[in-house]
Structure 1
Amino acid sequence: MAVHRTCDGMQRRDFLRVGVLGTSAVTLANYLQWSQAAEATGAKAKSAIFINLAGGPTHLDTFDMKPNSPSEYRGEFNPIQTNIPGIEISEHLPKLAQSMDKFVILRGITHSLAAHELGSQYVNTGNRPIPSLEFPGYGAVISKELGGPEELPANVAIPNTAQKTGYLGVRYAALSTGSTPKAGQPYSVRGVSLGGGLTVTEVERRQNLLSDLDQTFRAVEKDSQLLDGLDRFSEQAHTIITSRRARDAFNTALESPSFAEQFGDTPFGQSCLLASRLVESGVRFVTIQNGGWDTHNDGWTRLKNNLLPPLDAGLSALLNGLHQKGLLESTAVFVTGEFGRTPKINTQRVGRDHYARAMFMLMAGGGVKPGRVIGASDEKGLGPVGDGHSPDDVAASFYHNLGIDPKKEYQTNIGRPVMIVRDGNVIPELFA
């Protein structure tokens, strides 16, 4: 089990221990107990893939390079031309450079929360954290608004997620895969595939038992948020576990070798392959957790050897693969970390430190008009040119791309009205 620990002690595991209950991600049994499909609404994109670059990726060494800045800011990498004239990105992202016509770079995104936990909460919800309320992540909102097929979960995390369900309740939590696929090998998620000698007859016996338990729980407490959705658990659990559609949706080995090859054999690349397969099967929202971006020390070595090549291969394959399957126009893709990194190099540790005043985000798919850069940071990457855009604005745009009104109000369990995105506004240039 790979573990990424950021400098403030946050652990970012490549998977969660199966059976552990949390509000960020759950196993199939817990997920199904609390899941309840919502009515679908009209949308520009019908599904979404959110890629969380946990740890805070540097903007100046990736998608917002400053080759003409002083040496103490510039870094060790050189820019290369993309397939869109006038747009340059890092030399260690050559495949994404040739896929620039599939996505948009947002530069000069700005906020002030340069701590991992707070920054992560911010970019995973589109709302600046406050002590009095826990906001729901994108997956919970999209699950509530768009629902999903009966045989499949609406919200899947590969291998886990930093997103929580907040005031919407755990019925909208992600189903965590708990692991990532391995190239060329059949892949299954515990509880989705019938393994360990489990038979359909045994599943049906358990289904009847759970039906009895459902009635008992409902008699004890009718209004509990934890018990909401139990009336559908037995039927949906049986449907998913015995559904070939569900098992096949998670099995990346069923992809053609020619299609799968472009994703490579890294955990991130294989996660991107699984995400593309899931949205093709009808899953509404997929999170890919990709950690290790907290590059205080030996930053450029880690970037060029460990971090950028898998991102380059996996993300370019995801965008191109969705396009090849005719899914890019119906799938909103959003890539972000929790902040950027200091423009001025930390020479003692040969890296960059936390920095929230300027960062990049990437968007693609749906109604997003690709092949462009929106926004800018100043000549040293210290902050945005002009007012810039906040994570709230990007979140509002993400929801807008899915046909969800970011200003729609929900009621918390104490009757408090809260907008999906409290302070953000849609960025019109993304769709112009």
Structure 2
Amino acid sequence: MFTFWGQKQPFCDGINRRNFLSVGAFGAGLTLADVLRAKASGPDAAVPAAPIPTSAPKAAIMVYLPGGPSHIDMYDPKPDAPAEFRGEFGTIPTSLPGVRFSEYMPLQARMMDKFAVVRSLVANDEHSDSYVMTGYTEQVNRAAAQGQHPSFGAVMSKLRAGTGDIPPFVSLRGMSMGTEPGFLGVGHRPFTPDGPGRDNLRLANGVSAPRLDERKDLLAKFDTARREADATGSMKGMDAFAQRAFDMIASGTVRKALDLKQEDPRTRDRYKNVEQFLTARRLVESGVGCVTLSYGGWDTHSGNFKTLRKQLPELDRGIANLVQDLDDRGMLNDVVVVVWGEFGRTPKINMTDAGRDHWSPVMSALVAGGGLKMGQVIGSSSARGEYPKDRPYKVPHLLATLYRAMGIDPGMTFPNGSGRPMYVLDERAMVNELV
């Protein structure tokens, strides 16, 4: 929580301090200035293995479907398979000849020219978003996360570092293992507006812009005194980070992006019950580099079809509205959207509970935008959706492609906590059909 001076009060170190006035938060017990400082005082700058040119800064929206969505009931239906495999849903044609989707995704089906579906992704049998967000399966507990590989958004945070008052990485699903910065340091954790940050991204009652400037001057004077007493030099550069912290709070850019009331009521109505998709669009419009969000619960060991009948239409609406809005605003070429979960579901239905269980041998992912090649289906699964039939790709291969779309070389290295250079991804082959 970022704080400013209030009324005078003596502390045990002999300094007459004032009560702190809270005006902003980034979570994890860090001040906003602490977070900004950590970005610059962390590991050395990354070393690119082969720089990839990009025409303009791009952004990513990563939609995570927790629990593992059923590929066979969504993007890879099998209408000719036996009933115990194909399930209860019908299929509908998409705008791409010969390609069919679930009957519960008509909006995406009509705009298939704006999507690419990878039907032959090999996943990992682990209930964790770490694999699809980092390319590694190592992150199993938060205590060890700081020594492990960073998430996609954390890498973008490290390389983009934000501009002015805009955080480079925002998570609309809070903190999870898939958002951790690993050895890049806590300064590259995402901003999570659903915590205390949303309310605290505004000036406190009675604090005008001139008063904020006065408090900024007071803070600078106090920091100067601390710096003079700090023999380690750890306070070096505090002024610049404090300035950026004040700027983020005072400008209100992020707060305005989070305020959906500024949207046309008709737009808000289109996004009813899937408002996170609208928020994600507004955040990348404001300059955020990476936004991650989640929707629904997809661990359908029982009642698979009952659950999906409710969730698929709303997911369909959220994705279709987001991608269409980005296209209408001329942003789709510069924003990549990916929709996936940690694995697929068993092609054969467990008849006891009418559910589908975990299935890592194959899953599907939906991609849109980012200057990648759309209007195609990449790879296929077997006749019953059990295994890749052709073009098998691993999760890191798609991540490498997304990094490429952002102008980031997945072969670049960062030093870990012990100074050893670590690749962004060890498996860096790309999904060639997308590039």
Normalised-by-shorter TM-score class: 0.7 to 0.9
Query: For residues 30 and 359 of structure 1, do their structure 2 counterparts lie closer, same or farther at Cα, with a shift above 3 Å needed?
Result: farther
Percent same amino acid among aligned pairs?
35
Determine whether 1:89 maps to 2:89: no
Provide the residue aligned with 1:105 in structure 2: 117
Equivalent position of 2:16 in the other structure: none
Gaps of 5+ in 2: 1-24
Task: Report matched runs for 1:123-272 at 5 Å.
Answer: 123-129=132-138, 133-162=147-176, 163-178=179-194, 189-200=198-209, 203-204=212-213, 207-208=216-217, 210-211=219-220, 212=222, 216=226, 219=230, 232-263=240-271, 265-266=272-273, 269-272=274-277
For residues 142-184 of structure 1, give each alpha carbon's deviation from its aligned partner in whole angstroms, at most 9, with x where no partner exists: 112223220211111114243100011111111001179xxxx
1:28/1:250 CA distance change after superposition, 3 Å: farther
Q: CA deviation at 1:140?
A: 0.7
3-state SS of 1:60 partner: helix
Partner of 1:43: 54
- Which residue of the partner structure matches residue 360 of structure 1? 364
Q: 1:374-389 counterparts in 2 under 5 A?
A: 374-386=378-390, 388-389=392-393
* 1:317 counterpart = 2:321: yes
2:230 is paired with a residue whose SS is helix
Tell me how far 1:190 sits from its aligned partner: 2.2
Which residue type is aligned with residue 251 of structure 1? Answer: D
Structure 1 pair 240–130 and aligned structure 2 pair: CA distance change class (3 A):
closer
Q: Given that residues 120 and 393 in structure 2 are in contact (C-alpha distance below 8 angstroms), is that contact kept between their aligned partners in structure 1? A: yes
The answer (yes or no) to whether the contact 2:130–2:139 under 8 Å persists in 1 is no
- Residue of structure 2 equivalent to 1:428: 432
Residue 303 of structure 2 corresponds to: 298
Q: Which residue of 2 aligns with 1:4?
A: none
Q: Tell me how far apart the structure 2 counterparts of residues 51 and 30 of structure 1 sit (CA, whole Å).
A: 29
8 Å Cα contact 1:298-1:351 kept in structure 2: yes
Shift of 1:282: 1.1
Per-residue CA distance 1:373-424 (angstroms, 9 max, x = gap): 0111111111111360000100100000111111111111211111111113
Contact 1:35 / 1:229 at 8 angstroms: preserved in 2? no
CA distance in 1, matches of 2:338, 2:236: 30
Pick one of 280, 298, 307 that aligns with 1:275: 280
**Cα distance, 1:196 vs. partner?**
4.7
Q: Distance in 2 between matches of 1:349 and 1:153?
A: 44
Residue 97 of structure 1 aligns with an amino acid whose one-letter code is A
Query: 2:339 touches 2:365 (CA, 8 Å); kept in 1?
Result: yes
- Give distance in 2, aligned partners of 1:77 and 1:69: 12
Partner of 1:407: 411
Show the 5 A alignment for 1:7-18. none
Q: Distance in 2 between matches of 1:222 and 1:392?
A: 40
How large is the Cα RMSD of the aligned pairs?
3.0
Report the CA distance between 1:259 and its aligned residue: 3.8
Equivalenced residue count is: 394
Q: Which residue of 2 aligns with 1:183?
A: none
Distance 2:381 2:255 in 1: 45
Other-structure match for 2:20: none
Task: Please say which structure displays the higher CA radius of gyration.
Answer: 2
CA separation of 1:228/1:286 partners in 2, compared to 1, >3 Å: closer, same or farther?
farther
| TM-score with structure 2 setting the length | 0.82
After TM superposition, the structure 1 stretch with the greater mean CA deviation from structure 2, 230-239 or 149-158, is: 230-239
Deviation at 1:208, TM superposition (A): 4.7
Deviates more, 1:65-74 or 1:229-238: 229-238
Moved more, 46-55 or 34-43: 34-43
Distance in 2 separating the partners of 1:141 and 1:127: 14
Contact 2:203 2:249 in 1 (8 A): yes
C-alpha distance in structure 1 between counterparts of 2:336 and 2:93, whole Å: 25
2:19 aligned partner: none
- 1:416 corresponds to which residue? 420
CA contact (8 A) 1:41 1:145 kept: no
Output the amino acid matched with 1:411: P
Match of 1:184 in 2: none
Letter in 2 for 1:384: P
Inter-partner Cα distance in structure 2 for 1:295 and 1:156? 28
CA deviation string 1:290-311 (max 9, x = no partner) = 2411111111111112x21221
From the superposition, tell whether residues 166 and 19 of structure 1 become closer, same or farther in structure 2 (CA, over 3 Å): closer
| C-alpha distance in structure 2 between counterparts of 1:285 and 1:229, whole Å | 26
CA shift in 2, pair 1:242/1:364, >3 Å: same
Q: 1:57 aligns with which of 69, 93, 104?
A: 69
What is the rounded CA distance, in whole Å, between the counterparts of 1:161 and 1:412 in structure 2?
21
Specify whether residues 381 and 221 from structure 1 end up closer, same or farther in structure 2 by C-alpha distance, changes over 3 A only.
farther
